Amino acid sequence: MSLASTPAHIRIDKLTFDYGGERPAVDTLSFDIAKGEFIGLLGPSGCGKSTTLRMFAGLLAPTSGKIIMGGEDIVSRPPWERNLGLVFQSYALFPHMTVAQNVAFGLRLRKVGKEESAARVAEALRAVRLEGFGNRRPAELSGGQQQRVAIARAIVIEPEILLLDEPLSNLDARLRDEMRFEIRDIQSRTGITTLFVTHDQQEALTMCDRIAVMNGGKLEQIGTPVEIYDKPATPFVAGFIGRANSVPATLRLGPGAPRLEHEGQALPAPDLQELPSDAADGAKLAAMVRPHAIQLSRQDGDGLTARVNRSVFVGSVIEVELELAGGHKLVAELRPGSAEAQLAQPGADVALTWRTTDMRIFAA
Amino acid sequence: MTKFLSFISRAYVTLVFCIVFMPMAIILVISFSADSYLSFPPSGWSLKWYGTVLGNTSFMQGFRNSAIIAVIVAALSLALGLPAAYALVRLDFPGRALIRSLVIAPLVLPAMMLGLGILMVFTPAGLVATYPGLVLAHLVMTLPFSIRILQTSLSNLGTDVDEAAMTLGARPLQVFMQITLPRLTPGVIASSAIALILSFDEIVLSLFIVGPRLQTLPVALYRYVDERTDPMVAVLAVLMIALSLAIVLVVERSVGFAKAFGR
Ligand SMILES: Nc1ncnc2c1ncn2[C@@H]1O[C@H](COP(=O)(O)OP(=O)(O)O)[C@@H](O)[C@H]1O
Ligand SMILES: [Mg+2]
């Protein structure tokens, strides 16, 4: 594992920040960012996302750890020497300047000539679809437009990386959907490496090349949206990304293949590679399965027996609440009009199965 | 019931306004009196007392002194108050909380005590009845106000915008001059206006350290009232109120008081 074999554009190495609370706000965080990548930093509010961005930008000095950019640790560099584009949640536009002056600010400090500056400002405003808005004041723009000015101001200096702190959270629902595509579009046209911070898993899944999931200051998992969704590495990721059912299960090693049991009933056969290597006979585990992976059938063979508590039509799917023999509850999503959906009458007794590949197993 | 309450509250507001504005209204009326003593209502009308005031050397000297001192005090309040406010809001240093509360101490101390203290320090220093002495004494009054107003404006600005400028390549001094200061304009105007008015109207501290050669307008007026009472006093009061009002209006027109005080 040499540095040369993985030409990471930017590498975060054991980054830690301690405000002096119970535990560090960011705790030995490490991951790589490739050039041109659109990477998401996803986690619940308070998990340390903004703190990470502020360390990136040089607005906070890490307690320990490195941020390596262009082969050099930038931690000791002041913010004005880092060449990063940071877009704040509040946009942080300069209210006393016009849109064009806002965008030109970074260029002016870099002593870029008047003509070149004007051309680059125009180009940046075109990239965010704000041609013709150069002479307006920020106060005369809508939230979405201000957002785009902030992005233009950050990308015009051709930063090593564009850092976006929850850029969509202040917008109303319709604009949010629009800006989602807009931001992704701007990024693919400019090719700027982007770190996109969000607490919204939907945003992360739909926009990012890769997602780093954070919880309590620590990195839980990093991977493509599909990997994160299909193969969550921890129970936290399983529960945070999409919906997941967790079924308490006991490991039975006995003769033959290992089995999982819930209240004496067999779960679908586990993938042996999924089982914790140190798990002994009788170990308490948790089996994770997505609502859409659960299959319903009549109680005439394999499967966990369950009773249908409730069945709610929510448009594209029918949400069914199921109660297992021991009282544990699960949610399944069925296709409206399918044979399964016919079975899901409140009060009906059914059998539940799912495919081995749809089940993840964690230590309970 | 609600009708009655609304009547009561309207009556109450009217009463308060009367109490506040009645003296001013009476003074305004008397300033146009033709009598040679203070009486209300006047038995005749004239502008002669306005002429007398403008021809009175003691008053005109006092006005000139007060104006010069007020302008210098306002400028110094800003020059000294802005860095202090910046340090108290943006910088972290030991004892910051203590200094924050001590800054307003001159506002809660009785002015008499302050005046006495100032006199005891200024006499040996040779500052009594000098411009620098009066300016310094007034600064004791105005600086806490300036610092407080600028402190509020500064903390209301937040740090995001300044930090954004920093990430775009601006060094701290560039950030301050190009981003923080322009955004602080309302606070700067408000604190300067307050310092100007406070200094121009200041009397208690001034009484301790003026001398025969250097008097301020409020002191001249006070001394005059001690000996005689004629409508000239009313004219001076009207002129001083008009001046303060003019400054307030300028602030209101240029930035708005609500904004100037960061609300
Ligand atoms: N200035 C601060 N002083 C003390 N604790 C802070 C400060 N800022 C953030 N924290 C704490 O650090 C943790 C991470 O905060 P933050 O990075 O803002 O989270 P996020 O952006 O993911 O919501 C939180 O628990 C928060 O309470
Ligand atoms: Mg945050």
Considering the domain boundaries, does residue A305 fall inside one?
yes
Considering the domain architecture, whether residues A253 and A333 belong to the same structural domain is answered as yes
Considering the domain architecture, whether residues A203 and A270 belong to the same structural domain is answered as no
A84 touching chain B per CB within 8 A: yes
* pLDDT of res. A7: 58
Considering the domain architecture, whether residues A91 and A178 belong to the same structural domain is answered as yes
> Which tokens go with B19?
């109490």
Considering the domain boundaries, does residue A312 fall inside one?
yes
CA distances from B165 to A145, A204, B141, B149 (A): 19, 28, 36, 24
Higher-confidence residue of B244 and A40: namely A40
Number of domains in chain A: 2
Considering the domain boundaries, does residue A2 fall inside one?
no
Considering the domain architecture, whether residues A182 and A312 belong to the same structural domain is answered as no
Considering the domain boundaries, does residue A93 fall inside one?
yes
Question: Can you tell me which atom of ligand 1 is nearest the CA of A51?
Answer: 17
| CATH number assigned to the domain comprising residue A345 | 2.40.50.140
C-alpha–C-alpha distance, residues B205 and B195, integer Å: 15
Q: Dihedral sign for Cα A147, A153, A158, A163, please.
A: negative
Considering the domain architecture, whether residues A41 and A135 belong to the same structural domain is answered as yes
CB pairs under 8 A between A and B: 62
Considering the domain architecture, whether residues A208 and A270 belong to the same structural domain is answered as no
Q: Dihedral sign for Cα B97, B98, B99, B102, please.
A: positive
CA distances from A190 to A37, A148, A175, B129 (A): 11, 14, 22, 69
Q: Cα torsion for A104, A108, A114, A116, to the nearest 10°?
A: -70
| CATH number assigned to the domain comprising residue A30 | 3.40.50.300
Question: Can you tell me which atom of ligand 1 is nearest the CA of A214?
Answer: 22
**Closest approach of chain A CAs to the CA of B259, in angstroms?**
14
Considering the domain architecture, whether residues A161 and A308 belong to the same structural domain is answered as no
Considering the domain architecture, whether residues A78 and A220 belong to the same structural domain is answered as yes
C-alpha–C-alpha distance, residues A130 and A137, integer Å: 13
C-alpha–C-alpha distance, residues B70 and B244, integer Å: 12
**Contact between B187 and B142 (Cβ < 8 Å):** no
**Closest approach of chain A CAs to the CA of B186, in angstroms?**
12
Residue B262 has pLDDT above 60, yes or no: no
Here the contacts of A120-124 (C-beta below 8 Å, separation 24 or greater) are A120/A156, A121/A152, A121/A156, A123/A156, A124/A152, A124/A153, A124/A155, A124/A156
* pLDDT of res. A95: 95
Considering the domain architecture, whether residues A106 and A28 belong to the same structural domain is answered as yes
- Please give the mean pLDDT across all residues of chain A: 90
Considering the domain architecture, whether residues A85 and A135 belong to the same structural domain is answered as yes
Residue ending a domain, choose from A221, A239, A257: A239
Query: Which pLDDT band, with edges at 50, 70 and 90, does B261 fall under?
Result: low
Name which of B133, B186, B175, B179 is nearest A97 in CA terms. B179
Considering the domain architecture, whether residues A131 and A215 belong to the same structural domain is answered as yes
CA distances from B3 to A24, A208, B6 (A): 60, 62, 5
Instruction: Calculate Rg over the CA atoms of chain B.
Output: 22
* Residues forming a β-bridge with A85: A162
Name which of A102, A86, A188, A197 is nearest A149 in CA terms. A102
* pLDDT of res. B263: 47
Query: Which pLDDT band, with edges at 50, 70 and 90, does B260 fall under?
Result: low
**Contact between B232 and B53 (Cβ < 8 Å):** yes
* pLDDT of res. A33: 95
Which amino acid is residue B237, in one-letter code?
A
Name which of A54, A12, A10, A13 is nearest A36 in CA terms. A10
Considering the domain boundaries, does residue A171 fall inside one?
yes
Collapsing DSSP states into helix, strand and coil, what is residue A257? coil
pLDDT in tens, B150-199: 999 999 999 999 999 999 999 999 999 999 999 999 899 989 999 999 99
DSSP H helices in chain A:
49-57, 99-109, 114-127, 143-155, 173-190, 201-207, 225-230, 235-240, 339-343
* pLDDT of res. A99: 97
Domains in chain B: boundaries: 57-260
Q: Which of B162, B163, B168, B180 to mutate to test the interface with A (most CBs of A within 10 A)?
A: B168
Q: Which of B162, B166, B167 to mutate to test the interface with A (most CBs of A within 10 A)?
A: B167
CA distances from B94 to A99, A271, B243 (A): 40, 60, 42
* pLDDT of res. B257: 64
Q: What is the whole-number distance in angstroms between the Cα of residue A44 and the centre of ligand 2?
A: 9
Residue ending a domain, choose from A239, A267, A300: A239
Which amino acid is residue B233, in one-letter code?
V
pLDDT in tens, B191-226: 999 999 999 999 999 999 888 888 899 998 888 888
Residue of chain A with shortest Cα separation from B159: A92
Residue ending a domain, choose from A239, A270, A305: A239
Considering the domain boundaries, does residue A192 fall inside one?
yes
* pLDDT of res. A1: 38
Hey, what CATH topology would domain B57-260 get? MetI-like fold (1.10.3720)
* pLDDT of res. A71: 87
Give percent of chain B with pLDDT exceeding 90: 43
Considering the domain boundaries, does residue A1 fall inside one?
no
A61 touching chain B per CB within 8 A: no
Q: Tell me the residue range of the domain where A235 lies.
A: 8-239
Q: Do A96 and B171 touch (CB under 8 A)?
A: no
* pLDDT of res. A5: 42
Does this complex have an ipTM over 0.85? no
Other C-beta atoms lying within 10 Å of the C-beta of residue A27: 19
Q: Which of A50, A200, A218 to mutate to test the pocket of ligand 1 (most atoms within 8 A of CB)?
A: A50
The 8-class DSSP code of residue A264 comes to T
Annotate A84-153 with three-state secondary structure.
CEEECCCCCCCCCCCHHHHHHHHHHHCCCCHHHHHHHHHHHHHHCCCCCCCCCCHHHCCHHHHHHHHHHH
> Which tokens go with A256?
């033959």
Chain B positions touching A154 (Cβ under 8 A) are 168
Residue B6 has pLDDT above 50, yes or no: yes
Considering the domain boundaries, does residue A163 fall inside one?
yes
C-alpha–C-alpha distance, residues A85 and A114, integer Å: 21
Higher-confidence residue of A55 and B237: namely A55
Q: Dihedral sign for Cα A268, A273, A274, A278, please.
A: positive
Considering the domain architecture, whether residues A206 and A81 belong to the same structural domain is answered as yes
**Contact between A39 and A209 (Cβ < 8 Å):** yes
**Contact between B154 and B184 (Cβ < 8 Å):** yes
pLDDT in tens, B16-64: 988 988 888 888 998 898 888 888 788 888 888 898 888 888 889 999 9
Residues of chain A where predicted confidence (pLDDT) is lower than 70 = 1-7
Q: Do B183 and A96 touch (CB under 8 A)?
A: yes
